[in-house]
């Protein structure tokens, strides 16, 4: 079984939803871990409200394309070119017979409070319509920032803008090559071109 086929088989699984077992045991589908001194209903309620994504996202798939996706630059590097091939084929960004042949991820100094950003250098077996260097953005790892951003819906709003509105927006924004989001944990991935799309700002009416 090739790497892509293995990923595809794993990605057909449904997202794992945190469960609360007997005596305050919180589980992620693979077993239960003990939460001593905490009522099970309280632990479950608090975890659901202040979700860091460590339980519900583990092994879960994106809600748009249905694929498991990396939640950090390091995970993107670990999942490698096989995952890129699968993701871009599924989203029909590359042809079904095209393959990502190499992937290298580097830290990007421009990472901000509301997300981790990395530089991605990749190559493909056949020609593609995007650059050999792109930027990938992920949700931040800090629990406080993650919780506030989730409550305000910032990550979903950003994903929806790139997915549904950017093409018709007069604002010059990068083209999104691939994107997905896991709503219950607010984990997301955006792979964006470094340059900006060609667009013109609306002109002011003549005085």
Return the SS3 of 137. Answer: strand
Q: What is the CATH number of the domain that holds 80?
A: 3.30.200.20
* Residue 177 domain-assigned (yes or no): yes
Domain count, the chain: 1
What is the 8-class DSSP label of residue 30? S
| Model pLDDT for residues 73-118, shown as the tens digit of each residue | 999 999 999 999 999 999 999 999 999 999 999 988 655 556 789 9
CB hemisphere CA count around 193 (13 angstroms): 14
| Model pLDDT for residues 24-69, shown as the tens digit of each residue | 333 333 333 333 444 445 555 555 555 555 554 554 689 999 999 9
Q: Is pLDDT above 60 for 12?
A: no
Q: What pLDDT does residue 139 have? A: 87
* Residue 148 domain-assigned (yes or no): yes
Task: Give the residue numbers spanning the domain of 118.
Answer: 73-193
- The DSSP secondary structure of 75-92, one letter per residue, reads HHHHHHHHHHHHHHHHTT
Taking residue 192's Cβ as centre, other Cβ atoms within 10 Å add up to 22
| Model pLDDT for residues 107-148, shown as the tens digit of each residue | 886 555 567 899 999 999 999 999 999 999 998 876 666 677
* Residue 205 domain-assigned (yes or no): no
Q: Does an H or E element contain 120, and which?
A: strand 116-124
* Residue 198 domain-assigned (yes or no): no
* Residue 151 domain-assigned (yes or no): yes
* Residue 112 domain-assigned (yes or no): yes
């Amino acid at each position: 079984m090739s790497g892509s086929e293995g990923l595809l088989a794993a990605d057909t699984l449904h997202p794992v939803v945190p469960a609360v077992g007997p005596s305050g045991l919180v589980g992620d589908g693979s077993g239960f871990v003990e939460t001593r001194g905490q009522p099970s209903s309280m632990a479950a309620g608090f975890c659901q409200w202040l979700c860091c994504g460590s339980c519900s996202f583990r092994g879960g798939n994106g809600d748009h394309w249905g694929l498991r996706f990396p939640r950090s630059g390091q995970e993107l590097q670990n999942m490698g070119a096989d995952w890129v091939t699968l993701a871009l084929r599924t989203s029909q960004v590359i042809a079904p017979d095209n393959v990502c042949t190499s992937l290298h991820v580097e830290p990007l100094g421009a990472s901000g409070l509301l997300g981790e950003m990395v530089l991605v250098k990749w190559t493909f077996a056949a020609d593609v319509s995007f650059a050999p260097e792109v930027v990938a953005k992920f949700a931040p790892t800090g629990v406080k920032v993650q919780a506030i951003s989730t409550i305000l819906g910032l990550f979903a709003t950003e994903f929806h803008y790139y997915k549904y509105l950017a093409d018709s927006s007069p604002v010059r924004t990068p083209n999104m090559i691939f994107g997905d989001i896991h709503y219950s944990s607010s984990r997301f991935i955006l792979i964006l071109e470094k340059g900006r799309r060609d667009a013109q700002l609306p002109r002011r009416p003549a005085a």
